[in-house]
Amino acid sequence: MATYEQRPGGAWRAKIRRKGYPPLSATFDTKADAQRWAAEVEGDMSRSRFVDMREAERTTLTEALERYYLEVSSSKKGARQELTRVNKWKKHPLAGKGLAALRSSDFAAYRDEALKAGKSVSTVKLDLAIISHLFTVAIKDWGIQGLSNPITKIRMPKGATERDRRPMSIELQGVIKAAGEIHAEMPAIIELAIETAMRRSELLGLRRENVKAKHVLLEDTKNGTRRLVPLSSKARMLLDGLPARLDGMVFSLAPHSVSQYFLRACKAAKVQDLHFHDMRHEGTSRLFEKGLSIMEVASITGHKTMSMLKRYTHLCPDTLADKLG
């Protein structure tokens, strides 16, 4: 049974003690409000529908983000990027709210304000994705009762048309020539990125000991899966032409340096709207144009799903027309 007591100042506190349930109390402005709350809670207990919301109410988003980073983000390959997003959320006004108090409308408002402020669709999606996964972990792994994921109830922002930029041969020639004038390794890096469709981090993390006769062994990939990447005759020639390094690495450049040098080379060659990651797009598309099957291409590129593979694949219409006869 519930008991009620009036507090100094006129507020009313309701207390509920019932066998098999934790003791509960709450304070209200009027006795009628306290009685109404107690009746609802005791009714849920009688119908075995009571959910203990105390942990969900007292755990703030800031506290949840800190625990999420320590237990989840820190073990990811993108831990540094996630820490940036975690710290950004901790500065947001929503960070002080309890998890139970966060609503889908809160994050819909964040979505709209962020887009209006000029943030890219991909940035907003990634910001919301970390909150969505936090709630999933809180519900499934931490066992916090009474929560539902507010991100699943809002519309994700729609981005621009998927990128389908493929460089023309003359553009590539100009960029490769300009890149060679910036750093001696850049031409081989660009051409190998196309020939193998490897990610920038995979290519630049390559060790000489993992380069075999007709393939390279990737021990550490973005999705954590060990992968063998076959080498074309051109790729083998490019690798054979590189000087041996004392540290055992194939290349000396850091990933961010390659991206910066690539942009400088594009500017020098007067090639617009081309990024280094487009070389992976180009390489993947060429694999399909050579007649490889979806499974064969996926085994080379490391894509896990067809939807992910499709994002990187833009076949040349002229090549498809030749196949039609």
DSSP 171-193: HHHHHHHHHHHH-TTHHHHHHHH
pLDDT value at position 318? 66
From the candidates 111, 199, 286, 314, give the one annotated as an active-site residue. 199
CB 222 within 8 A of CB 255: no
Residue 168 has phi, psi (to 5 degrees) of -80, 160
138-175 CB burial, b ≥16 within 10 A, e <16:
bbeebebeebebbbeebeebeeeeeeeebbeeebbebb
Task: Clarify whether 199 is annotated catalytic.
Answer: yes
Catalytic residue, candidates 13, 119, 208, 277: 277
Bridge partners, 80 (sequence order)? none
Q: Check residue 25 and give its pLDDT.
A: 77
Tell me which residues of the chain have a pLDDT lower than 50.
Answer: none
- pLDDT, residue 319, reads 65
Longest CA span, the chain: 90
Spell out the residues 6+ positions from residue 274 whose beta carbon is closer than 8 angstroms to its own: 165, 167, 171, 175, 266
In angstroms, the CA 275 to CA 175 distance is: 11
Q: Which helix (H) or strand (E) holds 34?
A: helix 31-46
156: left (phi over 0), alpha (psi -120 to 50) or beta: beta
Q: Which of 85, 200, 227, 280 is catalytic?
A: 280
Q: How many residues does the chain have?
A: 325
Instruction: Record the tokens describing residue 161, joined without a space.
Output: 């048309």
Annotation says 303 is catalytic:
yes
Q: Establish whether 312 is a catalytic residue.
A: yes
Cβ-proximal residues to 26 (8 Å cutoff; 6+ apart), any chain? 13, 14, 34, 37
> What are the φ and ψ backbone dihedral angles of 273, each rounded to 5 degrees?
55, 50
Q: In this structure, what token pair is assigned to residue 131? A: 């909150």
pLDDT of residue 316: 62
207 catalytically annotated? no
pLDDT for 23 equals 82
* Active-site residue, selected from the candidate residues 227, 286, 312, 314: 312
One-letter amino acid for residue 209 of the chain: E
Q: At what angle do helices 233-240 and 186-196 cross, to 10 degrees?
A: 150
**What's the pLDDT at 325?**
63
CA-derived radius of gyration, the chain? 28
**Residue 302 φ/ψ, nearest 5 degrees:** 85, 10
Cα(154)–Cα(15) distance, rounded to whole angstroms? 36
pLDDT at residue 137, rounded to an integer: 95
- Give the active site residue among 227, 281, 303, 314: 303
Q: Is 222 a catalytic residue?
A: yes
Q: Check 36, 222, 245, 304 and give the catalytic one.
A: 222
Our answer to whether residue 200 is catalytic in this structure is no
Residue 222: which of 160, 149, 293, 312 has the closest Cα? 312
